[in-house]
Chain A
Amino acid sequence: MEILILLLALFVLSLFLGVELIVKVPPTLHTPLMSGTNAVSGITLVGALLAAGSDTSPMLVNVLGFLAVTFATINVIGGYLVTNRMLSMFKRK
Protein backbone atom coordinates (compact mmCIF):
# COMPACT_ATOMS: atom_id res chain seq x y z
CA MET A 1 0.00 0.00 0.00
CA GLU A 2 2.90 2.38 0.79
CA ILE A 3 4.14 1.99 -2.76
CA LEU A 4 0.73 2.93 -4.10
CA ILE A 5 0.73 6.13 -2.05
CA LEU A 6 4.18 6.96 -3.42
CA LEU A 7 2.99 6.38 -6.98
CA LEU A 8 -0.03 8.56 -6.30
CA ALA A 9 2.23 11.33 -4.95
CA LEU A 10 4.36 11.07 -8.08
CA PHE A 11 1.23 11.30 -10.23
CA VAL A 12 -0.17 14.37 -8.47
CA LEU A 13 3.16 16.22 -8.41
CA SER A 14 3.70 15.45 -12.10
CA LEU A 15 0.30 16.93 -12.89
CA PHE A 16 1.27 20.19 -11.18
CA LEU A 17 4.66 20.20 -12.88
CA GLY A 18 2.90 19.62 -16.19
CA VAL A 19 0.69 22.66 -15.70
CA GLU A 20 3.67 24.88 -14.85
CA LEU A 21 5.59 23.66 -17.91
CA ILE A 22 2.84 23.64 -20.51
CA VAL A 23 1.39 27.10 -19.84
CA LYS A 24 4.77 28.50 -20.88
CA VAL A 25 4.64 26.90 -24.34
CA PRO A 26 3.81 29.65 -26.88
CA PRO A 27 0.78 29.14 -29.16
CA THR A 28 3.04 29.00 -32.19
CA LEU A 29 4.44 25.69 -30.91
CA HIS A 30 1.14 24.11 -29.89
CA THR A 31 1.05 21.63 -32.77
CA PRO A 32 4.61 20.35 -32.18
CA LEU A 33 3.73 20.24 -28.48
CA MET A 34 0.86 17.87 -29.25
CA SER A 35 2.88 15.61 -31.52
CA GLY A 36 5.84 15.75 -29.13
CA THR A 37 3.73 14.76 -26.14
CA ASN A 38 2.21 12.03 -28.32
CA ALA A 39 5.70 10.66 -28.71
CA VAL A 40 6.23 10.87 -24.95
CA SER A 41 3.01 8.97 -24.32
CA GLY A 42 4.56 6.23 -26.45
CA ILE A 43 6.40 5.45 -23.20
CA THR A 44 3.70 2.80 -22.91
CA LEU A 45 6.17 0.88 -25.09
CA VAL A 46 7.95 0.05 -21.83
CA GLY A 47 4.86 -1.72 -20.53
CA ALA A 48 4.20 -3.25 -23.93
CA LEU A 49 7.66 -4.83 -24.07
CA LEU A 50 7.04 -6.59 -20.77
CA ALA A 51 3.72 -7.98 -22.01
CA ALA A 52 5.07 -9.08 -25.39
CA GLY A 53 8.34 -10.58 -24.19
CA SER A 54 7.23 -12.79 -21.35
CA ASP A 55 7.65 -16.51 -21.96
CA THR A 56 5.46 -17.66 -19.12
CA SER A 57 2.37 -15.80 -20.29
CA PRO A 58 -0.36 -17.31 -22.40
CA MET A 59 -0.29 -16.75 -26.15
CA LEU A 60 -3.22 -14.31 -25.91
CA VAL A 61 -1.11 -12.01 -23.75
CA ASN A 62 1.79 -12.12 -26.19
CA VAL A 63 -0.50 -11.23 -29.06
CA LEU A 64 -1.96 -8.29 -27.13
CA GLY A 65 1.63 -7.35 -26.26
CA PHE A 66 2.56 -7.41 -29.94
CA LEU A 67 -0.34 -5.05 -30.71
CA ALA A 68 0.72 -2.78 -27.85
CA VAL A 69 4.34 -2.73 -29.05
CA THR A 70 3.17 -1.86 -32.56
CA PHE A 71 0.89 0.98 -31.41
CA ALA A 72 3.45 2.41 -29.02
CA THR A 73 6.29 2.21 -31.55
CA ILE A 74 4.22 4.09 -34.12
CA ASN A 75 3.71 6.76 -31.47
CA VAL A 76 7.37 6.95 -30.51
CA ILE A 77 8.92 6.85 -33.99
CA GLY A 78 6.13 8.77 -35.74
CA GLY A 79 5.77 11.30 -32.94
CA TYR A 80 9.43 12.22 -32.57
CA LEU A 81 10.12 12.27 -36.31
CA VAL A 82 7.16 14.44 -37.22
CA THR A 83 7.85 16.79 -34.31
CA ASN A 84 11.44 17.14 -35.40
CA ARG A 85 10.31 17.79 -38.95
CA MET A 86 7.96 20.54 -37.82
CA LEU A 87 10.33 22.14 -35.35
CA SER A 88 13.17 22.39 -37.83
CA MET A 89 10.86 24.56 -39.96
CA PHE A 90 10.51 27.18 -37.26
CA LYS A 91 13.18 29.71 -38.03
CA ARG A 92 13.93 33.23 -37.06
CA LYS A 93 14.72 35.63 -39.85
Chain B
Amino acid sequence: MSSSIVNLVYLFAGVLFILGIKGLTKPATAVRGNMLSATGMLIAVVITLLNSEIVNFTYIVAGVLFGGVVGAFMALRIQMTSMPQMVALLNGFGGGASLTIASAEYFSVLNIDAHTFADLLQPVALGADAFGTGAEGQVTLVSIGLTILIGAVTLTGSLVAFAKLQGLVKKNFGLPGGPIGNALLLIGGLVALGCMIVNPSQAVTVLALIALALLLGLFLVLPIGGADMPVVIALLNSYSGLAAALAGFILGNTVLIVAGSLVGTSGLILTKIMCVAMNRSLGNVLFGKMAAAGEAVDADEIYAGKVTSAQPDEVAMMLEVAKRVVIVPGYGMAMAQAQHAVRELADSMESKGIEVEYGIHPVAGRMPGHMNVLLAEAEVPYDNLVEMDRINPTFEDTDVVIVIGANDVTNPMARDAEGSPIYGMPILNVDKAKNVVVIKRSLSPGFAGLPNPLFAMDHTLMVYGDGKKAVVEMTTALNQS
Protein backbone atom coordinates (compact mmCIF):
# COMPACT_ATOMS: atom_id res chain seq x y z
CA MET B 1 0.00 0.00 0.00
CA SER B 2 1.69 3.21 -1.09
CA SER B 3 1.77 6.03 1.39
CA SER B 4 0.04 8.32 -1.11
CA ILE B 5 -3.03 6.11 -1.12
CA VAL B 6 -2.98 5.86 2.67
CA ASN B 7 -2.81 9.63 2.96
CA LEU B 8 -5.64 10.12 0.46
CA VAL B 9 -7.80 7.77 2.50
CA TYR B 10 -6.85 9.68 5.67
CA LEU B 11 -7.94 12.86 3.91
CA PHE B 12 -11.29 11.26 3.14
CA ALA B 13 -11.65 10.19 6.78
CA GLY B 14 -10.85 13.74 7.87
CA VAL B 15 -13.60 15.07 5.59
CA LEU B 16 -16.06 12.62 7.16
CA PHE B 17 -15.10 13.85 10.64
CA ILE B 18 -15.76 17.44 9.56
CA LEU B 19 -19.12 16.51 8.02
CA GLY B 20 -19.91 14.56 11.17
CA ILE B 21 -19.37 17.56 13.42
CA LYS B 22 -21.30 19.72 10.96
CA GLY B 23 -24.20 17.31 11.40
CA LEU B 24 -24.15 18.04 15.12
CA THR B 25 -25.18 21.65 14.48
CA LYS B 26 -28.81 20.53 14.21
CA PRO B 27 -30.62 17.89 16.28
CA ALA B 28 -32.32 16.59 13.13
CA THR B 29 -29.03 15.78 11.37
CA ALA B 30 -27.03 14.84 14.44
CA VAL B 31 -27.53 11.05 14.36
CA ARG B 32 -26.47 10.95 10.72
CA GLY B 33 -23.47 13.14 11.52
CA ASN B 34 -22.35 10.75 14.22
CA MET B 35 -22.64 7.83 11.78
CA LEU B 36 -20.54 9.70 9.18
CA SER B 37 -17.90 10.37 11.78
CA ALA B 38 -17.87 6.71 12.85
CA THR B 39 -17.55 5.66 9.20
CA GLY B 40 -14.53 7.94 8.85
CA MET B 41 -13.00 6.25 11.88
CA LEU B 42 -13.59 2.76 10.48
CA ILE B 43 -12.02 3.69 7.15
CA ALA B 44 -8.96 5.25 8.81
CA VAL B 45 -8.45 2.19 11.01
CA VAL B 46 -8.86 -0.30 8.19
CA ILE B 47 -6.40 1.44 5.88
CA THR B 48 -3.91 1.61 8.74
CA LEU B 49 -4.23 -2.11 9.38
CA LEU B 50 -3.31 -2.77 5.73
CA ASN B 51 -0.01 -1.02 6.37
CA SER B 52 2.87 -3.42 5.81
CA GLU B 53 4.66 -2.29 8.98
CA ILE B 54 1.96 -3.96 11.01
CA VAL B 55 2.82 -7.60 11.19
CA ASN B 56 2.16 -8.59 14.76
CA PHE B 57 -1.54 -8.65 15.50
CA THR B 58 -1.41 -10.20 18.97
CA TYR B 59 -1.32 -6.92 20.88
CA ILE B 60 -3.73 -5.25 18.49
CA VAL B 61 -6.41 -7.91 18.74
CA ALA B 62 -6.02 -8.06 22.52
CA GLY B 63 -6.28 -4.28 22.86
CA VAL B 64 -9.21 -3.89 20.48
CA LEU B 65 -11.16 -6.73 22.11
CA PHE B 66 -10.51 -5.53 25.64
CA GLY B 67 -11.07 -1.85 24.85
CA GLY B 68 -14.10 -2.60 22.71
CA VAL B 69 -15.83 -4.64 25.40
CA VAL B 70 -15.09 -2.04 28.10
CA GLY B 71 -16.16 0.84 25.86
CA ALA B 72 -19.38 -0.83 24.72
CA PHE B 73 -20.27 -1.89 28.24
CA MET B 74 -19.78 1.63 29.56
CA ALA B 75 -21.66 3.26 26.70
CA LEU B 76 -24.69 0.99 26.87
CA ARG B 77 -24.99 0.67 30.64
CA ILE B 78 -24.30 4.20 31.85
CA GLN B 79 -27.23 6.13 33.27
CA MET B 80 -27.96 9.47 31.67
CA THR B 81 -27.54 11.18 35.05
CA SER B 82 -23.98 9.82 35.15
CA MET B 83 -23.03 11.17 31.74
CA PRO B 84 -20.53 13.71 33.17
CA GLN B 85 -18.56 10.81 34.69
CA MET B 86 -18.59 8.98 31.35
CA VAL B 87 -17.30 12.01 29.45
CA ALA B 88 -14.63 12.56 32.10
CA LEU B 89 -13.43 8.96 31.69
CA LEU B 90 -13.41 9.20 27.90
CA ASN B 91 -11.33 12.39 28.11
CA GLY B 92 -8.91 10.56 30.37
CA PHE B 93 -8.55 7.56 28.06
CA GLY B 94 -7.96 9.93 25.14
CA GLY B 95 -5.12 11.53 27.08
CA GLY B 96 -3.84 8.10 28.09
CA ALA B 97 -3.75 6.95 24.48
CA SER B 98 -1.70 9.97 23.40
CA LEU B 99 0.61 9.56 26.39
CA THR B 100 1.32 5.90 25.63
CA ILE B 101 1.75 6.49 21.90
CA ALA B 102 4.28 9.25 22.46
CA SER B 103 6.18 7.13 24.99
CA ALA B 104 6.10 4.14 22.64
CA GLU B 105 7.51 6.28 19.84
CA TYR B 106 10.33 7.46 22.08
CA PHE B 107 11.33 3.97 23.18
CA SER B 108 10.86 2.61 19.69
CA VAL B 109 13.16 5.14 18.01
CA LEU B 110 15.86 4.63 20.62
CA ASN B 111 15.25 0.89 20.48
CA ILE B 112 15.06 0.73 24.26
CA ASP B 113 13.90 -2.51 25.72
CA ALA B 114 13.64 -2.88 29.42
CA HIS B 115 12.97 -5.98 31.45
CA THR B 116 13.55 -4.28 34.76
CA PHE B 117 13.05 -0.71 35.82
CA ALA B 118 16.81 -0.31 36.29
CA ASP B 119 17.34 -1.08 32.57
CA LEU B 120 15.40 2.08 31.77
CA LEU B 121 17.81 4.23 33.70
CA GLN B 122 20.77 3.22 31.54
CA PRO B 123 21.66 5.74 28.81
CA VAL B 124 21.43 4.29 25.31
CA ALA B 125 23.73 4.52 22.35
CA LEU B 126 21.40 6.39 20.02
CA GLY B 127 21.02 10.16 20.33
CA ALA B 128 18.89 13.02 19.01
CA ASP B 129 19.79 12.19 15.41
CA ALA B 130 17.72 9.02 15.63
CA PHE B 131 14.61 11.20 15.69
CA GLY B 132 15.50 12.97 12.43
CA THR B 133 18.26 15.14 11.14
CA GLY B 134 18.74 18.61 12.57
CA ALA B 135 15.63 20.64 13.18
CA GLU B 136 13.31 17.78 12.26
CA GLY B 137 14.65 15.65 15.08
CA GLN B 138 14.21 18.54 17.48
CA VAL B 139 10.61 19.12 16.40
CA THR B 140 9.81 15.43 16.82
CA LEU B 141 11.35 15.45 20.29
CA VAL B 142 9.45 18.58 21.29
CA SER B 143 6.23 16.98 20.01
CA ILE B 144 6.91 13.79 21.96
CA GLY B 145 7.58 15.79 25.11
CA LEU B 146 4.49 17.99 24.79
CA THR B 147 2.26 15.04 23.93
CA ILE B 148 3.48 13.22 27.03
CA LEU B 149 2.97 16.33 29.18
CA ILE B 150 -0.56 17.12 27.98
CA GLY B 151 -1.60 13.48 27.66
CA ALA B 152 -0.52 12.66 31.21
CA VAL B 153 -2.18 15.76 32.69
CA THR B 154 -5.38 14.83 30.84
CA LEU B 155 -5.23 11.25 32.08
CA THR B 156 -4.89 11.87 35.80
CA GLY B 157 -6.88 15.12 35.75
CA SER B 158 -9.82 13.32 34.16
CA LEU B 159 -9.59 10.41 36.57
CA VAL B 160 -9.81 12.89 39.47
CA ALA B 161 -12.75 14.64 37.79
CA PHE B 162 -14.41 11.23 37.43
CA ALA B 163 -13.78 10.38 41.08
CA LYS B 164 -15.25 13.71 42.17
CA LEU B 165 -18.35 13.43 39.99
CA GLN B 166 -18.89 9.87 41.17
CA GLY B 167 -18.64 11.06 44.77
CA LEU B 168 -15.54 8.94 45.47
CA VAL B 169 -13.54 12.05 46.36
CA LYS B 170 -15.57 14.61 48.23
CA LYS B 171 -12.91 16.92 49.63
CA ASN B 172 -11.36 19.69 47.58
CA PHE B 173 -7.70 20.02 48.42
CA GLY B 174 -4.49 20.92 46.66
CA LEU B 175 -0.77 21.10 47.18
CA PRO B 176 0.50 23.34 49.94
CA GLY B 177 0.92 26.73 48.33
CA GLY B 178 -1.93 26.03 45.95
CA PRO B 179 -1.17 27.39 42.49
CA ILE B 180 2.51 27.81 43.41
CA GLY B 181 2.85 24.08 44.08
CA ASN B 182 1.28 23.37 40.70
CA ALA B 183 3.52 25.94 39.02
CA LEU B 184 6.55 24.17 40.51
CA LEU B 185 5.33 20.82 39.15
CA LEU B 186 4.83 22.39 35.73
CA ILE B 187 8.28 24.00 35.78
CA GLY B 188 9.77 20.67 36.87
CA GLY B 189 8.00 18.97 33.98
CA LEU B 190 9.25 21.55 31.49
CA VAL B 191 12.80 21.18 32.80
CA ALA B 192 12.58 17.41 32.33
CA LEU B 193 11.20 18.03 28.84
CA GLY B 194 14.11 20.36 28.08
CA CYS B 195 16.64 17.81 29.31
CA MET B 196 15.00 15.14 27.17
CA ILE B 197 15.34 17.31 24.06
CA VAL B 198 18.95 18.13 24.78
CA ASN B 199 19.91 14.62 25.77
CA PRO B 200 17.33 12.10 24.54
CA SER B 201 19.55 9.12 25.20
CA GLN B 202 18.78 9.44 28.93
CA ALA B 203 15.42 7.73 29.33
CA VAL B 204 15.29 8.91 32.92
CA THR B 205 14.34 12.37 31.63
CA VAL B 206 11.21 10.94 30.01
CA LEU B 207 10.31 8.99 33.13
CA ALA B 208 10.64 12.17 35.19
CA LEU B 209 8.49 14.06 32.71
CA ILE B 210 5.78 11.39 32.83
CA ALA B 211 5.78 11.27 36.62
CA LEU B 212 5.66 15.05 37.07
CA ALA B 213 2.92 15.46 34.46
CA LEU B 214 0.79 12.73 36.07
CA LEU B 215 1.14 14.49 39.43
CA LEU B 216 0.32 17.86 37.87
CA GLY B 217 -2.92 16.49 36.46
CA LEU B 218 -3.87 15.16 39.90
CA PHE B 219 -3.22 18.38 41.75
CA LEU B 220 -4.72 20.64 39.09
CA VAL B 221 -8.16 19.06 39.47
CA LEU B 222 -8.16 17.96 43.14
CA PRO B 223 -8.83 21.51 44.45
CA ILE B 224 -11.72 22.11 42.04
CA GLY B 225 -15.20 21.12 43.04
CA GLY B 226 -18.86 20.86 42.26
CA ALA B 227 -20.28 23.53 40.02
CA ASP B 228 -16.90 24.32 38.44
CA MET B 229 -16.81 20.84 36.92
CA PRO B 230 -18.37 21.92 33.58
CA VAL B 231 -15.30 24.10 32.95
CA VAL B 232 -12.88 21.37 33.98
CA ILE B 233 -14.50 18.72 31.80
CA ALA B 234 -14.62 21.01 28.78
CA LEU B 235 -10.98 21.97 29.27
CA LEU B 236 -9.82 18.36 29.64
CA ASN B 237 -11.80 17.57 26.49
CA SER B 238 -9.76 20.22 24.75
CA TYR B 239 -6.49 18.83 26.11
CA SER B 240 -7.30 15.33 24.89
CA GLY B 241 -7.75 16.73 21.39
CA LEU B 242 -4.61 18.81 21.58
CA ALA B 243 -2.60 15.77 22.69
CA ALA B 244 -3.95 13.80 19.72
CA ALA B 245 -2.98 16.59 17.31
CA LEU B 246 0.53 16.72 18.78
CA ALA B 247 0.80 12.95 18.43
CA GLY B 248 0.03 13.57 14.76
CA PHE B 249 3.15 15.73 14.53
CA ILE B 250 5.25 12.92 16.01
CA LEU B 251 4.02 10.38 13.50
CA GLY B 252 3.61 12.80 10.58
CA ASN B 253 0.01 11.65 10.42
CA THR B 254 -2.44 14.09 8.83
CA VAL B 255 -5.71 12.59 10.06
CA LEU B 256 -4.50 12.75 13.67
CA ILE B 257 -3.71 16.44 13.26
CA VAL B 258 -7.07 17.32 11.67
CA ALA B 259 -9.18 15.29 14.11
CA GLY B 260 -7.14 16.38 17.13
CA SER B 261 -7.39 20.07 16.36
CA LEU B 262 -11.16 19.84 15.80
CA VAL B 263 -11.54 18.24 19.23
CA GLY B 264 -9.14 20.75 20.75
CA THR B 265 -11.10 23.75 19.51
CA SER B 266 -14.40 22.15 20.46
CA GLY B 267 -13.27 21.80 24.05
CA LEU B 268 -11.83 25.30 24.14
CA ILE B 269 -15.02 26.89 22.85
CA LEU B 270 -17.12 24.98 25.38
CA THR B 271 -14.69 26.08 28.10
CA LYS B 272 -15.14 29.69 27.08
CA ILE B 273 -18.95 29.38 26.98
CA MET B 274 -18.93 27.91 30.49
CA CYS B 275 -16.64 30.63 31.84
CA VAL B 276 -18.80 33.38 30.33
CA ALA B 277 -21.90 31.77 31.82
CA MET B 278 -20.28 31.96 35.25
CA ASN B 279 -18.77 35.40 34.68
CA ARG B 280 -15.38 34.05 35.71
CA SER B 281 -12.05 33.84 33.97
CA LEU B 282 -10.49 30.48 33.26
CA GLY B 283 -7.62 31.29 35.62
CA ASN B 284 -10.10 32.07 38.36
CA VAL B 285 -11.82 28.69 37.96
CA LEU B 286 -8.56 26.75 37.82
CA PHE B 287 -6.62 28.51 40.54
CA GLY B 288 -8.93 30.87 42.36
CA LYS B 289 -11.80 30.74 44.71
CA MET B 290 -15.00 32.63 44.31
CA ALA B 291 -14.21 36.34 44.38
CA ALA B 292 -14.08 37.30 48.02
CA ALA B 293 -15.62 40.72 47.53
CA GLY B 294 -18.24 42.54 49.56
CA GLU B 295 -19.30 42.08 53.14
CA ALA B 296 -20.56 38.70 54.21
CA VAL B 297 -24.26 38.32 53.61
CA ASP B 298 -26.19 37.05 56.59
CA ALA B 299 -28.53 34.31 55.49
CA ASP B 300 -30.76 34.70 58.55
CA GLU B 301 -31.27 38.37 57.79
CA ILE B 302 -32.45 37.60 54.29
CA TYR B 303 -34.63 34.63 55.14
CA ALA B 304 -35.96 35.47 58.63
CA GLY B 305 -39.73 35.43 58.71
CA LYS B 306 -40.02 36.03 54.98
CA VAL B 307 -39.87 32.53 53.54
CA THR B 308 -43.22 30.98 52.66
CA SER B 309 -43.44 27.25 52.31
CA ALA B 310 -46.14 25.26 50.57
CA GLN B 311 -47.32 21.72 50.02
CA PRO B 312 -47.36 20.14 46.56
CA ASP B 313 -51.16 20.16 46.35
CA GLU B 314 -51.21 23.92 46.98
CA VAL B 315 -48.81 24.32 44.07
CA ALA B 316 -51.09 22.17 41.93
CA MET B 317 -53.97 24.56 42.62
CA MET B 318 -51.79 27.42 41.46
CA LEU B 319 -50.74 25.54 38.32
CA GLU B 320 -54.33 24.78 37.45
CA VAL B 321 -55.13 28.42 36.76
CA ALA B 322 -51.84 29.21 35.02
CA LYS B 323 -51.53 29.85 31.30
CA ARG B 324 -47.77 29.62 30.99
CA VAL B 325 -45.32 27.69 33.17
CA VAL B 326 -41.53 27.57 32.90
CA ILE B 327 -39.55 24.77 34.53
CA VAL B 328 -35.97 25.59 35.55
CA PRO B 329 -33.92 22.45 36.28
CA GLY B 330 -30.55 22.24 37.99
CA TYR B 331 -28.12 19.64 39.27
CA GLY B 332 -30.62 18.75 42.02
CA MET B 333 -32.95 17.35 39.37
CA ALA B 334 -30.20 14.99 38.23
CA MET B 335 -29.42 13.99 41.83
CA ALA B 336 -33.09 13.22 42.49
CA GLN B 337 -33.43 11.41 39.11
CA ALA B 338 -36.55 13.52 38.72
CA GLN B 339 -36.47 14.11 34.95
CA HIS B 340 -39.23 11.59 34.15
CA ALA B 341 -41.44 12.91 36.94
CA VAL B 342 -40.92 16.44 35.64
CA ARG B 343 -41.94 15.38 32.14
CA GLU B 344 -45.11 13.77 33.52
CA LEU B 345 -45.99 16.97 35.37
CA ALA B 346 -45.46 18.93 32.15
CA ASP B 347 -47.64 16.45 30.24
CA SER B 348 -50.40 16.86 32.78
CA MET B 349 -50.20 20.65 32.51
CA GLU B 350 -50.18 20.55 28.71
CA SER B 351 -53.27 18.35 28.70
CA LYS B 352 -54.98 21.19 30.54
CA GLY B 353 -53.93 23.67 27.89
CA ILE B 354 -51.06 25.20 29.85
CA GLU B 355 -48.01 26.25 27.84
CA VAL B 356 -44.86 24.64 29.31
CA GLU B 357 -41.25 25.46 28.50
CA TYR B 358 -37.92 24.66 30.14
CA GLY B 359 -35.37 27.36 30.92
CA ILE B 360 -31.85 25.98 30.70
CA HIS B 361 -28.86 27.85 32.13
CA PRO B 362 -25.57 27.01 30.35
CA VAL B 363 -23.88 25.81 33.56
CA ALA B 364 -26.87 23.99 35.06
CA GLY B 365 -25.60 20.54 35.99
CA ARG B 366 -22.09 19.21 35.91
CA MET B 367 -21.14 19.56 32.25
CA PRO B 368 -22.19 21.48 29.15
CA GLY B 369 -25.64 20.36 28.01
CA HIS B 370 -26.21 18.08 31.03
CA MET B 371 -29.85 19.14 31.60
CA ASN B 372 -30.72 18.83 27.92
CA VAL B 373 -29.58 15.22 27.81
CA LEU B 374 -31.55 14.32 30.94
CA LEU B 375 -34.73 15.92 29.63
CA ALA B 376 -34.21 14.36 26.21
CA GLU B 377 -33.99 11.00 27.96
CA ALA B 378 -37.37 11.76 29.53
CA GLU B 379 -38.65 12.40 25.99
CA VAL B 380 -39.09 16.13 26.35
CA PRO B 381 -39.04 17.54 22.79
CA TYR B 382 -35.91 19.64 22.31
CA ASP B 383 -37.94 22.56 20.95
CA ASN B 384 -39.24 23.05 24.50
CA LEU B 385 -35.73 23.39 25.94
CA VAL B 386 -35.05 27.10 25.75
CA GLU B 387 -31.65 28.65 26.37
CA MET B 388 -31.11 31.50 28.79
CA ASP B 389 -31.07 34.45 26.38
CA ARG B 390 -34.32 33.42 24.76
CA ILE B 391 -36.26 32.45 27.90
CA ASN B 392 -35.32 35.51 29.98
CA PRO B 393 -37.57 38.03 28.17
CA THR B 394 -40.55 35.68 28.61
CA PHE B 395 -40.54 35.46 32.42
CA GLU B 396 -42.68 38.56 32.84
CA ASP B 397 -45.47 36.81 30.93
CA THR B 398 -45.02 33.59 32.87
CA ASP B 399 -47.55 32.72 35.56
CA VAL B 400 -45.51 30.12 37.43
CA VAL B 401 -41.85 29.20 37.36
CA ILE B 402 -40.94 25.86 38.93
CA VAL B 403 -37.29 25.79 40.01
CA ILE B 404 -36.16 22.24 40.70
CA GLY B 405 -32.69 21.66 42.11
CA ALA B 406 -31.23 24.93 40.82
CA ASN B 407 -29.95 27.71 43.07
CA ASP B 408 -27.10 30.05 42.12
CA VAL B 409 -28.25 30.37 38.49
CA THR B 410 -31.49 31.98 39.74
CA ASN B 411 -29.95 34.22 42.42
CA PRO B 412 -31.02 37.85 41.76
CA MET B 413 -27.95 39.05 43.69
CA ALA B 414 -25.96 38.30 40.56
CA ARG B 415 -27.98 40.99 38.82
CA ASP B 416 -28.72 43.49 41.58
CA ALA B 417 -26.14 43.27 44.37
CA GLU B 418 -23.03 45.04 43.22
CA GLY B 419 -20.09 43.75 45.23
CA SER B 420 -21.60 40.31 45.66
CA PRO B 421 -19.18 37.51 44.69
CA ILE B 422 -21.51 36.38 41.92
CA TYR B 423 -22.35 39.90 40.71
CA GLY B 424 -22.30 40.00 36.91
CA MET B 425 -22.97 36.31 36.38
CA PRO B 426 -25.81 35.93 33.86
CA ILE B 427 -28.83 34.35 35.54
CA LEU B 428 -32.31 33.17 34.69
CA ASN B 429 -34.57 36.04 35.78
CA VAL B 430 -37.14 33.74 37.35
CA ASP B 431 -38.01 36.39 39.98
CA LYS B 432 -39.70 38.42 37.20
CA ALA B 433 -42.42 35.78 36.87
CA LYS B 434 -45.76 36.22 38.61
CA ASN B 435 -45.19 33.25 40.90
CA VAL B 436 -42.13 31.17 41.68
CA VAL B 437 -42.11 27.69 43.17
CA VAL B 438 -38.76 26.41 44.42
CA ILE B 439 -38.43 22.68 45.09
CA LYS B 440 -35.46 22.16 47.37
CA ARG B 441 -34.44 20.05 50.34
CA SER B 442 -33.67 23.02 52.58
CA LEU B 443 -32.54 26.63 52.49
CA SER B 444 -28.90 25.55 52.29
CA PRO B 445 -26.76 27.66 49.97
CA GLY B 446 -25.62 26.53 46.52
CA PHE B 447 -22.04 26.15 45.32
CA ALA B 448 -21.36 29.89 45.64
CA GLY B 449 -22.13 29.64 49.37
CA LEU B 450 -24.54 32.55 49.22
CA PRO B 451 -28.13 32.92 50.42
CA ASN B 452 -30.64 33.39 47.62
CA PRO B 453 -33.01 36.35 48.13
CA LEU B 454 -35.34 34.73 45.60
CA PHE B 455 -36.43 32.26 48.31
CA ALA B 456 -37.61 35.12 50.55
CA MET B 457 -39.60 37.02 47.95
CA ASP B 458 -43.32 37.53 48.43
CA HIS B 459 -44.26 35.68 45.27
CA THR B 460 -42.00 32.69 45.98
CA LEU B 461 -43.20 29.44 47.54
CA MET B 462 -40.72 26.90 48.88
CA VAL B 463 -41.61 23.23 48.58
CA TYR B 464 -39.22 21.31 50.84
CA GLY B 465 -38.32 17.71 50.24
CA ASP B 466 -37.16 15.22 47.65
CA GLY B 467 -37.53 16.71 44.18
CA LYS B 468 -38.97 13.61 42.56
CA LYS B 469 -41.51 12.99 45.32
CA ALA B 470 -42.67 16.61 45.34
CA VAL B 471 -43.14 16.66 41.57
CA VAL B 472 -45.02 13.36 41.57
CA GLU B 473 -47.35 14.68 44.27
CA MET B 474 -47.98 17.84 42.26
CA THR B 475 -48.87 15.75 39.22
CA THR B 476 -51.24 13.55 41.19
CA ALA B 477 -52.99 16.58 42.70
CA LEU B 478 -53.21 18.28 39.33
CA ASN B 479 -54.65 15.18 37.64
CA GLN B 480 -57.33 14.85 40.33
CA SER B 481 -58.49 18.44 40.04
Which chain A residues have a beta carbon within 8 Å of chain B's beta carbons?
1, 3-4, 7, 10-11, 14-15, 17-19, 21-55, 57-93
Contact = CB atoms under 8 A, between A and B. Distances in A.
Nearest to A49: B48
> Does more than half of chain B's interface fall in helix, strand or loop, or is it mixed?
helix
Contact of A31 (B41, B48, B263, B372): B372
B251 A55 contact: no
A13 to B, nearest CB: 9
A7 B249 contact: yes
Which are the 3 A-B pairs with shortest beta-carbon distances? Answer: A73-B67, A69-B63, A18-B265
Contacts of A28: 27, 360, 369, 372, 376, 382, 385, 387
A71 B37 contact: no
Interface in B33-84: 33-35, 37-38, 41, 44-45, 48-49, 51, 53-57, 59-60, 62-64, 66-68, 70-72, 74-76, 78, 80, 83
> Does more than half of chain A's interface fall in helix, strand or loop, or is it mixed?
helix
B405 interface: no
Contacts of A40: 17, 20-21, 37, 41, 259, 262-263
A73 B68 contact: yes
Nearest to B76: A81
Given A7-B249, A90-B382, A27 B75 contact: no
A42 B55 CA distance: 22
Contacts, number: 383
B72 A35 contact: no
B28 interface: yes
Given A80-B37, A91-B379, A74 B90 contact: yes
Interface string B363-392: 000011110110011010111110100000
A44 B253 CA distance: 10
B17 A32 contact: no
Interface of B: 13, 17-18, 20-22, 24-28, 30-31, 33-35, 37-38, 41, 44-45, 48-49, 51, 53-57, 59-60, 62-64, 66-68, 70-72, 74-76, 78, 80, 83, 86-87, 90-91, 93-94, 96-98, 100-101, 103-105, 107-108, 111-114, 135-136, 139, 233-234, 237, 240-241, 244-245, 247-267, 269-270, 273, 360, 362, 367-370, 372-373, 376-377, 379, 381-385, 387
Contacts of B383: 92-93
Contact of A27 (B241, B256, B259, B362): B362
27 contacts: A14-B257, A14-B258, A18-B264, A25-B21, A28-B387, A31-B369, A33-B369, A34-B266, A37-B263, A38-B90, A38-B263, A40-B263, A46-B45, A47-B253, A50-B54, A51-B100, A51-B104, A52-B59, A55-B56, A58-B114, A63-B59, A72-B94, A77-B72, A80-B38, A87-B30, A90-B27, A91-B376
Nearest to B55: A55
Given A31-B87, A37-B263, A71-B96, A92 B241 contact: no
Nearest to B388: A27
Contacts of A78: 70-72, 74-75, 86, 90, 93
A83 B101 CA distance: 25
Contact of B135 (A1, A29, A34, A65): A1
Most B-side CB within 10 Å, residue of A19, A45, A54, A71: A71
Given A21-B21, A65-B59, A74-B70, 11 more contacts: A4-B249, A35-B86, A41-B259, A51-B100, A53-B57, A60-B114, A65-B101, A71-B96, A76-B41, A81-B71, A84-B35
Contact of A54 (B48, B108, B247, B251): B108
Given A55-B55, A60-B107, A90-B376, A22 B21 contact: yes
Given A40-B37, A48-B101, A51-B101, A29 B372 contact: yes
Given A35-B87, A47-B101, A21 B72 contact: no
Contact of A53 (B53, B66, B100, B233): B53
Nearest to A43: B259
Most A-side CB within 10 Å, residue of B80, B91, B259: B259
